[in-house]
Amino acid sequence: VDQPRKEIPSDHLPEPSSQTKKQRISRKSLFSKILWKLRLRNQEPLKNVFYLLAERARDSNTKRRHMAIKGLGNMAYEAPDKVKKYKKILLDSLVHGLYDPVSSEIIYESVKALIIILGKIKGKGLGSFFVDITLQTRTLLDDENDSLRYSAFILFGQLAACAGWKWKKFFTSQAKRTRDSLLVHLRDGNPHVAMACRTAFHACSPFLRLKKEPLEYTIQAQEEQRNPKLYWQLVSRIFSYLNQSIIIH
């Protein structure tokens, strides 16, 4: 199984370690050629690009799936005005990638792309995807790979912020099952993972029904997290360099 790089530099999340610089350039070139052919040379509508990538995201070839998922993440980042319009296509493909049985790189790219999309739609209209994303994200919080673990905590915090009344009971049960992971990784050996965990912990605190704030957290911080809008403000600083990893360098 392919593994993304473990180290997280201060400015952005890394490319998977199995990718050499030459491979990354090659993949960037391939993605650019796809967009050029579909949008410019053949004047293909952007909608068709989304559908093509969504189709490739279910390809039997692992490399094609990986390229497609990364492409969808780039499309979501580069064309944020189209995210809501093609939300169903994006979510369906990325949730499928989140459960990829072979490649951790595909899972990693799916998590990163979902972070971008949830950041754009503020969690609105997830429907049953909310359950699928939550269940799989929980399994990634203790992953041995730093980058994947980091991304999973960011995504889990987003899910907490957009749970709402519809999913409150479900997410409460998930948050309680995740409490041990949250407490352990507050002191994660990687400072970036610890920061992401802290953000997620703040967002989850209302669901944990804490009577006394552990560690350095305050009652005021817990009450603030009852307002999802405050969470999006809190996590925005992390998005500022997390988003950089979605762009193909």
Residue type, 210: L
Which structural domain range is residue 195 located in? Answer: 125-249
Q: Is the pTM of this model over 0.85?
A: no
Tell me whether residue 13 is in a domain: no
Calpha distance 54→91 (Å, rounded): 10
Whether residue 130 is found in the same domain as residue 28:
no
Whether residue 117 is found in the same domain as residue 129:
no
Whether residue 49 is found in the same domain as residue 88:
yes
Using one digit for the tens of pLDDT, what is the confidence trace for 108-148?
999 999 999 998 887 778 889 999 999 999 999 999 999 99
Q: Is the model's pLDDT at 4 over the cut of 70?
A: no
pLDDT of residue 119: 87
Q: Is the model's pLDDT at 40 over the cut of 70?
A: no
pLDDT of residue 249: 35
Whether residue 224 is found in the same domain as residue 139:
yes
Token representation of residue 170: 């479900």
Whether residue 32 is found in the same domain as residue 112:
yes
Number of domains in the chain: 2
Calpha distance 196→234 (Å, rounded): 11
